[in-house]
Amino acid sequence: MPKPSPTRRPSARRGEGEKLRNEILDVTARLLEESGDARTLSLRAIAREVGVAATSIYLHFDSLDAATVAVKDQKYGELREALLAADEGARDDPRSRLRAATRAYVDFALERPGTYRVLFSTNLNLPPAGDGGFVGESAFGVAVEVLRESGKTDEEAHMAATQLWCLMHGMVTLRADHPNFHWPSLDEQIDDLLDRMLLA
C-alpha cells in the first residue's frame, strides 16, 4: 500500500526559518538512518517528508550534498559526545579510558547501523571542515588524545588511533554482514584487541 503524502505545511512565519532548517536536518538524518546509503537520498524526498516545496530546501542548503554534510557533521558530533562521556566515566588509566571509548564506538555503530554506514562506509572521502581538517576529525581526536596520554608520541598516537579505527570498523561491519559467524563476545574481542595494541 503506497505511503500517503505528508500534508503540505503552511508558510513559515518570520523567525521560524531555524525551526524549518532543524526539521530538514531531522528528516534527512532519519532517511539516511533508514536507508544507510546517501545515494538513495533526494531533495524531493526530504521536501515531501517535511511538507514543503523542494525549493524551500534551498533557503537553507544550496545542494543535497550540503544537507548531507550538515547531518554528517551533526552525527559525528553525537559520536564524539558518546566517546567523551565514556572517557569521562572511565578510570584514569589509559587502558580503561581506551576500552570505554572503544566500546562506545562499537555501541554507536551497532545501535545506529544506517547512520554508521552513511558516516563511514558510503563515502570514506570525508569532506573538509572549515578549519582545514575533515568532518569527523573531532571524534577521531578523542582516541588520539588518550593514546598520546598513554606515553606515545604524537606520531605514534595518530598511527595507533588510525589502526584502532580500522580494526573497529572491521569489527562492526563484519559482525553486521556475517551474523552467523562464531563471534566472541564484544567484551572479549575488545579486551583482546586492546591488549594486543597496548603491548605492541
In our burial notation (b when 16+ CB lie closer than 10 A, e otherwise), range 26-63 reads ebbbebbbebbebeebebebbbbbbbbeeebbeebbee
- Residue written as cell 598513554? 150
- pLDDT at residue number 38: 83
Q: Are 29 and 51 in contact (CB under 8 A)?
A: no
pLDDT tens, N- to C-terminus, the chain (200 residues) = 555 555 545 554 445 668 899 999 999 999 999 988 888 889 999 999 999 998 899 999 998 888 988 898 888 888 888 988 888 888 778 788 888 889 999 999 999 998 888 888 665 445 555 554 555 677 788 788 888 887 889 999 999 889 988 999 999 999 989 999 999 999 999 999 888 877 65
- Ordered by start, the domain boundaries in the chain are 71-199
Long-range contacts of 147-150 (CB under 8 A, 24+ apart): 147/94, 147/98, 149/94, 149/97, 150/94, 150/95, 150/98, 150/198
The pLDDT score that the predictor gives to residue 150 is: 79
The CATH class given to the 71-199 domain equals: mainly alpha
The pLDDT value given to residue 39: 85
Cβ-proximal residues to 103 (8 Å cutoff; 6+ apart), any chain: 86, 186, 187, 190
pLDDT at 124: 42
Q: pLDDT at position 14, please?
A: 47
- Residue 194 has a CB neighbour count (10 Å cut-off) of 18
